Amino acid sequence: MPVIKFSEAGIGRLEPPATSRVDYWDEAQPGFGLRLTSSGKRTWQIMYRSGGVRRRLALGEWPALPLKLALQAAEQAMAQVEAGKDPARERAVVTGGPVTTQRLAEAYLERHAKRNKKTWVADAGMIRREVLPAWGGRAADTIRRRDVIELVEAIAARGKGVMANRVLALVRKMFAWAQDADLADANPARGVAAPHREATRERLLSEAEIAKLWTAWDGMGWPFGPLFKLLLLTGQPRSDIASMRLDDIQFTSRVWTPPGARAHGGHTHELPLSDFALEILAVLPRSKSGLVFPAGPRAATPVTGWSNAVAKARKLSGVEGWQLRDLRRTAAVGMARAGAAPELLDRVLNVRSGTAAGVRGIYQLAAEMDEKRRVLNAWAEQVLVMTGAQTDV
């Protein structure tokens, strides 16, 4: 276990171990250290004894928790040890006190969801509406399996079975992350069965429904009218379309690289845009943020209000029961009918293929891009025929 002098610059230069982890200890502050894992995660920690038992307490991750604040947290925790308390049991944090469910949820959103999930806004909404009203002020370690069951069953009893399943999955993920971050000892959602059985949704929009929806989208205007059109034309996830930026579109080569989207196998996901899709984009208003679909003229965040927009499109079109995921599914089937092989379709949609990727060299990628462009253009032509839309949108 190496003993070193900590500095902000030096912490960033530490090389992660090839496997497992390594603990570095501060030469100036006994018991204060940094755990560095093979993934590059750097976690401040203290080591101490309580009741004759050696204990470890994680204080937070660098650089989110800088050296100066980590030292302050260590001093607070060590003061608790000297007072005969066990800071690991009480889960002291920088601001003091036990880790409540609200603090745990905030840490999950800031340190995990926002960094790794495109759907973190949906997570935040479920936490705000469903989790915090029930458990927000309770210490996270007091939440038990029975609490989780009661929470999701209450949601299901309101007629929101699918939402109950989503909340259960979120609570399970949130506490699993909290265990890894040393913010919780157990995962109370582990092993809890989903309260609602979800039927597999296989709806495809018919040609008549697409024509009616297209007319409704014309009437809705910006932002959701063209946004829904692009969802249907490209088959991409709504989070990617909503966060689309002009800077991510190469108009000369007609290729769009969704921000943060990585294809399976490590390659960047690149999507050729059909002429029809580009014509839709060409006439949209421009925002200062660079987002194609911002939440407002001066907003730097993507558009919100999906549920209301879908409801409005249903009312205007008379097409009831359709959901956003039906657009992606319908596009996929349309491209398959245009001749897209399953593995190519997986590349277009950026989903995991059941076929081994193998070695994908530069020539393979170039040929693949041509094939992607062909099927996307073919699908756009189908949509043009169905809707009778003009190409000078």
pLDDT in tens, 20-57: 889 999 998 889 999 998 888 899 999 998 877 788 88
Same structural domain for residues 36 and 66?
Answer: yes
Q: Which residues of 90-109 are buried (b: 16+ CB within 10 A; e: fewer)?
A: bbbbeeeeebbbbbbbebbb
Domain range enclosing 7: 3-90
- Write out the H or E segment, with its range, that includes residue 22: strand 21-26
197 domain residue, yes or no: no
Average pLDDT over residues 301-321: 94
Same structural domain for residues 174 and 304?
Answer: no
Average pLDDT over residues 281-300: 89
pLDDT for the residue numbered 265:
46
Average pLDDT over residues 167-182: 89
pLDDT for 141 beyond 90? no
The residue out of 27, 58, 90 marking a domain boundary is 90
The residue out of 64, 90, 116 marking a domain boundary is 90
Tens-digit pLDDT profile for residues 319-354? 999 999 999 999 999 999 988 888 899 989 988 554
pLDDT for the residue numbered 166:
93
Same structural domain for residues 148 and 65?
Answer: no
Task: Give how many domains the chain has, as a whole number.
Answer: 3
pLDDT for 293 beyond 80? yes
214 domain residue, yes or no: yes
193 domain residue, yes or no: no
The DSSP secondary-structure symbol of 64 reads T
**Contact at 8 Å (CB) between 127 and 109?**
yes
CATH code of the domain containing 269: 1.10.443.10
373 domain residue, yes or no: yes
The residue out of 61, 90, 119 marking a domain boundary is 90
pLDDT for the residue numbered 352:
59
pLDDT for 160 beyond 50? yes
Same structural domain for residues 211 and 360?
Answer: yes
Bridge partners for 75 per DSSP: none
**Alpha-carbon dihedral angle through residues 68, 74, 80, 86, given to the nearest 10 degrees:** 150
**Contact at 8 Å (CB) between 99 and 184?**
yes
pLDDT for the residue numbered 262:
53
pLDDT for the residue numbered 360:
43
Same structural domain for residues 222 and 367?
Answer: yes
Tens-digit pLDDT profile for residues 192-226? 999 888 666 678 999 999 999 999 999 999 999 99
Average pLDDT over residues 254-260: 84
Q: Which two structure tokens, joined as six digits, stand for 213? A: 């929806």
What percent of the chain is predicted at pLDDT more than 70? 89
What average pLDDT is seen over the chain?
Answer: 86
pLDDT for 310 beyond 50? yes
Same structural domain for residues 242 and 327?
Answer: yes
First to last CA, the chain: 66
60 domain residue, yes or no: yes
Same structural domain for residues 361 and 290?
Answer: yes
pLDDT for the residue numbered 93:
42
